[in-house]
Each structure stands twice: as C-alpha cells, then as structure tokens.
C-alpha cells in the first residue's frame, strides 16, 4: 500500500470519528465518510503532483 493513501485513510478516519463525537452522527457512517474523503483528498493531491511534474 502506498504511504500517502494509507495516511489519507488514517487521517480521514480520525476526522470522521471526531465528527461523530462533535456532531452526534453515527460512528460507522462518519468513519466511512471520513475515510472516503481522506482517499479523495490524497487522490487529488497525487494527481496535482503528477501534472506539475510533467510540465
């Protein structure tokens, strides 16, 4: 597993579970949404880095 993606999963899950405590959302739902958002953020960052290096 690539390190940035693993970091995105961990950070997204942490933010999701914290949001479940703050906003009162179901923990499993917030964990899944956090992980998905973390993965999307990392995928965006990797795509931007690839496009920047090619130019």
Rounded CA separation 47/5 (Å): 12
So what's the pLDDT on residue 19?
92
What six digits make up the tokens of 25?
A: 């959302």
42 burial class (0-12, 13-18, 19+ CB within 10 angstroms)?
buried
Average pLDDT over residues 3-31: 93
In this prediction, residue 55 has a pLDDT band, given cuts at 50, 70 and 90, of low
pTM (2 d.p.)? 0.82
In this prediction, residue 53 has a pLDDT band, given cuts at 50, 70 and 90, of confident
So what's the pLDDT on residue 22?
94
- Host H or E run for residue 41: helix 27-54
So what's the pLDDT on residue 30?
95
């Amino acid at each position: 597993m690539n390190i940035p993606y693993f970091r995105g999963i961990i950070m997204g899950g942490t933010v999701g579970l914290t949001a479940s405590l703050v906003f009162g959302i179901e923990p499993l739902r917030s964990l899944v949404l956090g992980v998905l958002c973390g993965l999307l953020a990392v995928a965006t960052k990797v795509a931007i880095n690839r496009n920047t290096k090619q130019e």
